[in-house]
Amino acid sequence: MDSIFERIIATDDIPENKSKAVQAGGQSILICHVRGKFYALQNRCSHAETTLERARFRGDTIMCPLHGARFDLATGAVRNPPAVTPICVYPLKIIDGWIYVSTQAAPLAET
Ligand code: FES
């Protein structure tokens, strides 16, 4: 099935090493700008269900602000406990300075 992409936000609206929570397809999605790349992730930690909006980035991971679980930005796989379940990542593309996201999540990563 082809993915349907929604226009979400301009790339200029998310500075490097920052993120922004947006609503798309009835879900809260966190758009992250790290090391020159953009990622779209489920805006909810799989450990205790807190949002990831105040999360920090370390390398190619995002670190939950509550208990420090880390997830791979590209795949959602758990890289550090206490989380044991991956988070969803969403296909993203950039066209003419705009970020488009498909809310049809990619399959969960192996952890
Ligand atoms: S809520 Fe994210 S690590 Fe606990």
* Domain range annotation of the chain: 5-102
Residues with CB under 6 A from ligand 1: 45, 47-48, 50, 64, 66-69, 82-83
* Alpha-carbon gap, residue 60 to 34, rounded angstroms: 8
Q: Two tokens at 21?
A: 């929570």
Per-residue pLDDT of the chain (111 residues; tens, 9 = 90+): 567 899 999 999 999 999 999 999 889 999 999 999 999 999 999 999 899 999 999 999 999 999 999 999 999 999 999 999 999 999 999 999 999 999 876 667 776
Superfamily in which the 5-102 domain is placed by CATH: Rieske [2Fe-2S] iron-sulphur domain (2.102.10.10)
Q: Whose CA is nearest to atom 1 of ligand 1?
A: 48
Q: Two tokens at 78?
A: 């758990």
* Alpha-carbon gap, residue 66 to 56, rounded angstroms: 11
In sign, the C-alpha dihedral spanning 7, 11, 17, 18 is: negative
Q: Two tokens at 100?
A: 């488009």
**Contact call for residues 31 and 44 (beta carbons, < 8 A):** no
